[in-house]
Amino acid sequence: MKKRWIAAGVLGALVVTGGVLRFAFPQETVAWAAKRGIPGMISNIRDPIADYQDIAWQSGPATPPSGERPPNVVLIVVDDLGYNDLTWNGGGIANGTVPTPNIDALAREGVDFTQGYAGNATCSPSRAAMMTGRYPTRFGFEFTGIPPSFAATVSHGVGNGPVPVVFREDLNHNVIPSQQMGVPSSEITIAESLQARGYHTIHLGKWHLGETDALAPHAQGFDESLGFRAGGSMFLPEDDPNVVNAKLPWDPIDSFLWPNLPYAVQYNNGQRFEPKGHMTDYLTDNAIEAIRANKNRPFFMYLAYNAPHTPLQATREDYDALGHISDPTIRVYAAMIRQLDRRIGDVMKELKAQGLDENTLVIFTSDNGGAWYTGIKESNLPFRGWKASFFEGGIRVPFFVRWPGRIAAGTRAPAPASHVDMFATIAGVTGATMPSDRAMDGVNLLGGIVPGLPAQPRVAPLFWRSGDYRAVRLGDWKLQIGRGSQQAWLYNLADDPTEQRDLSAAEPERVAQMRAMIEAQNRGLPKPLWPGLVEAPVRVDVPLNAPWEAGQDYIIWTN
């Protein structure tokens, strides 16, 4: 009875305070309430979810324009895909027994940037880098936007080893609401630049760059947006007869997602409503409809799948097809990969069916590496590290670009390529304008690859930052600084691409030089728009569900 009264009190306070769990209750109470779905209940009260509704995509001209037209652009971003989850590089989930032929074809038929890097090691900052062509730290977007209730949940009662997870209660004051944690409207997105060039711009799926109307996709350059503004969604209702779920009892993030995530989408700034079917299928079906509606005008489509991010939910059909996988978690995850690959193949088939294939630039990438909390230890092989770390496993991502007739099939580009290059690359092939009133951090990756585009070799280093944890890559050398700037890891990636031999003790002058580069890059950057409330250890070589052992290397992830 006492717990019911506590829940009622939390619920009532949330209604009054707009859903902000901050001062009224101690951290343990907030975590207890979050695990029982109270933040999700409040969200549904404040923003109700309507029944399913069809979407009528805005149609372009009835006939194609005469003469040459600029290329369409389809940017496909998947969520938390590990480097080894694809069969393209000789690996694949479940020892390569779940092929990914359609995604692999994007690399085989275009250019594979073999050293592709995420803009950051977590969701939101990487997406901000893609949309703006700038390091997100330039405009205060340092951490993934999360509500304090989420931070309290993932840090309360957690820890199976000697390094505690810390909830920074001292920073949990005057924090902007999580809905306002996004890309400031003063930033210029690639969608806005393409709009000005005459493109029809479409967003589908995950946004995670601000939930208020002022920060939502339709206010940041997208003519049409269908998806969810928050960082995640259920793929199907948990009790749907066509779903197979895999919960992760060792993962505090999972314990927040299942009771709180909605199964809902939103078209532009309309009311949320239930989609139809598995989210991967729903987004794909609508992408196909949007392609049909826009076949006679240039369009930019940002297709942002939330698979294979948790919560792990597969269709029963895909799960049943993988009976050779005995581990149920790996089987559900693999089924999500199988479905994702098939549906990306359907998007490519539609481009061909509409006669758009030759004049469409398709880019495929992931927002970061595979997550440590899934318990799937092979996701990022052969690299060390996970999502949230700046070891290669956390930031090395597939980066494929396909444009038949303009990019020779089977091209391999070995130079580092980053998500900050997305803006410059798309602008370079479409004629969209690059902002000239601010620092832009990317280069046109297709220079020297597409005939007529001059090469743009990267001169500047690549940087990553999350709180006190920072990294820089200069040429073949990469330095990471962490644990309150006390720990340094230095690797020569030309000789040691999987970061097995730390050379920081043997190369003190190089460490000092590269530390100075990090300090120079950070000098003058604004403070984060919101603080990192969680400081959590993430072990480099084992997933979350592995036991702690003496000598295991780890980083401290701030978010």
pLDDT digits (tens, 9 = 90+) for 317-356: 999 999 999 999 999 999 999 999 999 999 999 999 999 9
List the domain boundaries for the chain: 1-46, 74-134+182-249+257-435+442-463
Instruction: Give the span between the Cα atoms of 267 and 386, in whole angstroms.
Output: 33
pLDDT digits (tens, 9 = 90+) for 247-287: 999 999 999 999 999 999 999 999 999 999 999 999 999 99
How do strand 200-206 and strand 299-304 relate by DSSP bridges?
parallel
Q: How many CB atoms lie within 10 A of CB 249?
A: 8
Question: Is residue 152 within 8 Å of 31, Cβ to Cβ?
Answer: yes
Domain 74-134+182-249+257-435+442-463 adopts which CATH fold? Alkaline Phosphatase, subunit A (3.40.720)
Mean pLDDT across 479-502: 95
At residue 360, does pLDDT exceed 50?
Answer: yes
- Report residue 159's pLDDT band, with 50, 70 and 90 as the boundaries: low
Q: Tokens at residue 51, please?
A: 């029944």
Mean pLDDT across 484-510: 96
Range with the poorest average pLDDT among 66-70, 79-83, 183-187, 413-417 = 66-70
Range with the poorest average pLDDT among 114-118, 160-164, 437-441, 536-540 = 160-164
pLDDT digits (tens, 9 = 90+) for 370-383: 999 999 999 999 99
Q: Residue 67: CB partners within 8 Å, gap ≥ 6?
A: none
Instruction: Give the span between the Cα atoms of 19 and 177, in whole angstroms.
Output: 9
Instruction: Give the span between the Cα atoms of 319 and 331, in whole angstroms.
Output: 7
pLDDT at residue 5, rounded to an integer: 40
- Report residue 147's pLDDT band, with 50, 70 and 90 as the boundaries: confident
pLDDT at residue 158, rounded to an integer: 58
Instruction: Give the span between the Cα atoms of 108 and 112, in whole angstroms.
Output: 8
How do strand 469-474 and strand 477-482 relate by DSSP bridges?
antiparallel
Instruction: Give the span between the Cα atoms of 389 and 471, in whole angstroms.
Output: 10
What percentage of the chain has pLDDT greater than the value 90?
Answer: 84
- Closest residue by Cα to residue 423 from 204, 130, 123: 130
Q: Which residues make beta-bridge pairs with 74?
A: 301, 362
- Closest residue by Cα to residue 329 from 277, 254, 387, 231: 254
- Report residue 4's pLDDT band, with 50, 70 and 90 as the boundaries: very low
Q: Tokens at residue 532, please?
A: 């990192």
pLDDT at residue 432, rounded to an integer: 98
Kind plus residue range of the DSSP H or E element containing 64: none
- Report residue 18's pLDDT band, with 50, 70 and 90 as the boundaries: very low
Mean pLDDT across 97-107: 98
